[in-house]
Chain A
Amino acid sequence: MSDVEFSATEIMTVAASRLLGNGTVCFVGIGLPSTAANLARLTHAPDVVLIYESGPIGAKPTVLPLSIGDGDLSLTADTVVSTPEIFRYWLQGGRIDVGFLGAAQIDRFANINTTVIGPYDAPKVRLPGAGGAPEIAAQAKEVFIVLKQNKKAFVEKLPFITSAGFLDGGDAREKAGIPGGGPTAVITDLGILTPDPVTRELTLTSIHPGVTVEQVKEATGWDLKIAADLKTTEIPDAAALTALRDLQARTAKAHGQNAGGEG
């Protein structure tokens, strides 16, 4: 155990990175997923294969990319292929172990919205849209989703399903003919949620140290189920924190302030 202090965002990033096993082939979204995936590569999973939708396969960026097509991704990759090839041969071809996604909003069955808040034809907020997510969410063998937990993001009903999780729950995903296994973990700044094996409803199975169950429920727009054997998330070890902070410092130096995130 270590008594190093860490922020809620840091434990979220470290917890997400720990889920990526060494050698995993991971299709990475920009922002929080990219931070966690690169942290995994720099710590316990040196042979993780990072694939970005712009074309780099086996990218090993020295700093976090600000955009999905930063030069560092291309210069450090094993190969760079075209975007159609990424989606046709590598994703649709069934070669992706883990799709690592962010989201603006999520519901209890881990469906995600990155399209609009409010009605589609008269949106209150127009979000960037789908990008690669619908097919990554559908075709990767499993999906990790990382986002901060609050009532605006964790909603009872999504205004728009951009990418499918378990749809209405149960076997709805399989019945719809979606090939990949779907979300296996949602990592937030408060804990880790995993789908119930039968109902597929997201359940709080791990809570970060210092966070109360009440806090997590308060940050969720539905009546969140809590696992009977709720675990406490292992605190980030000093090596991972150092690697994360070094990565972010290098990134800030390379891109200017506030870089390496989604905002």
Chain B
Amino acid sequence: MALITPLREAVSSLIHDGDTVALEGFTHLIPHAAGHEIIRQGKKDLTLVRMTPDLIYDQLIGMGCARKLIFSWGGNPGVGSLHRFRDAVEQGWPHRLETVEHSHAGMANAYVAGASNLPFALLRGYTGSDLPKVNPWIRFVECPFTGEKLAAIPSVRPDVTVIHAQKADKRGNVLLWGILGVQKEAALAAKRAIVTVEEVVDELNAPANACVLPSWALAAVCPVPGGAYPSYAQDYSQRDNKFYKDWDPIARNRDSFLAWMKRHVLETEDFAGFMRVLGESVARETV
């Protein structure tokens, strides 16, 4: 049964140093607030998993929370590079980052296999790509019926998955909609799932076949309105494309990155505090 609890307590009690953690979201519903809380609490040696690591992973990597990254596309969508991710891979700053690299099809199948309690995922994939040469976790097996060669990769089984959703009811059942990426699979593949939500309502009134994650399949539900920002929650907020562009010069330089993180994340108490200080920074720039 999911406890409806403040985000700080959920991160503190459910995410431990050295854990494998997936904060999933495919442009939409990215759990930024939870990423910030992991940084504030100084979690270390995490193996981070994500199909599309973007700004929040850039921040986690730059702040030294990650030892290893399992991923399939790492960039700032529509803008360019993740400079902290690149600095970690190219220069080993703030420390060396081990990478395990897949394709989207591989990662998506690996989450499905994880949620299905299978040891590995099976797909037609990677043929002709150099990825199997640099990732020993991509192997090939023969179909026992036809002899066809198929790719096999280990399931993703995170210790903790964190996602953001639109609504929970008071018992902690969660409803999400719009572009859902791999969030359902990631939540069900994990030992513990944390969901931050825009709001807690009396009744979900979910139509049949809607994406509902029942309370009993989750570890914690944390109300964090706007907690996907600068990503968005369909029917609640818009993606702040300007922030994604503004992030590029901040993250290019180690000092400007650290100063920004200190002011906006380390020295704020929670996500509401982050939004307040960010608002002050934006107002100062536009004066």
Which residues on the A side are within 8 Å of B111 (C-beta)?
84
Near A by CB (< 8 A), chain B positions 36-83 give 51-52, 71-75, 77-82
B270 located at the interface, meaning its Cβ lies under 8 Å from any Cβ of chain A in the complex: no
Q: Indicate which residue in A82, A87, A129, A258 contacts B73 across the interface (CB closer than 8 Å).
A: A129
A143 located at the interface, meaning its Cβ lies under 8 Å from any Cβ of chain B in the complex: no
Which residues on the A side are within 8 Å of B74 (C-beta)?
126, 128-129
How many A residues, CB 8 Å from partner? Answer: 61
Bits for A147-178, please: 1 = Cβ < 8 Å to B, else 0. 00000000000001111100100000100111
Q: Is the CB of A84 within 8 A of B182?
A: yes
Q: Is the CB of A173 within 8 A of B182?
A: no
B residues bordering A, Cβ < 8 Å? Answer: 26-28, 51-52, 71-75, 77-82, 85-86, 89-90, 101-105, 108-109, 111-112, 123-131, 134, 148-149, 178-182, 184-185, 232, 234, 238-239, 241-242, 244-245
A209 located at the interface, meaning its Cβ lies under 8 Å from any Cβ of chain B in the complex: no
Tell me the smallest distance from the CB of B180 to a CB of chain A, in Å. Answer: 5
Q: Is the CB of B104 within 8 A of A87?
A: yes
Which residues on the B side are within 8 Å of A128 (C-beta)?
73-75, 81-82
Q: Is the CB of B26 within 8 A of A163?
A: no
Q: Which residue of A lies closest to B115 (CB)?
A: A84
Q: Is the CB of B27 within 8 A of A162?
A: no
Q: Which residue of B lies closest to A85 (CB)?
A: B108
Which residues on the B side are within 8 Å of A126 (C-beta)?
74, 81, 85-86, 89-90
Give Cα A53–Cα B79 distance, bound, in whole angstroms: 18
Given known A161-B128, A176-B128, contact A71–B239 (CB-CB < 8 A): yes
Q: Indicate which residue in A30, A86, A129 contacts B78 across the interface (CB closer than 8 Å).
A: A30
Which residues on the B side are within 8 Å of A210 (C-beta)?
none
Give Cα A67–Cα B244 distance, bound, in whole angstroms: 10
Bits for A54-86, please: 1 = Cβ < 8 Å to B, else 0. 111000000001111111011100001011101
A46 located at the interface, meaning its Cβ lies under 8 Å from any Cβ of chain B in the complex: no
Given known A55-B179, A84-B182, A126-B86, contact A135–B105 (CB-CB < 8 A): yes
Q: Is the CB of B78 within 8 A of A262?
A: yes
Q: Is the CB of A55 within 8 A of B26?
A: yes
From B90, B179, B180, residue with most partner A Cβ within 10 Å: B179
Which residues on the A side are within 8 Å of B178 (C-beta)?
71, 74, 80
Given known A87-B104, A128-B74, contact A54–B27 (CB-CB < 8 A): yes
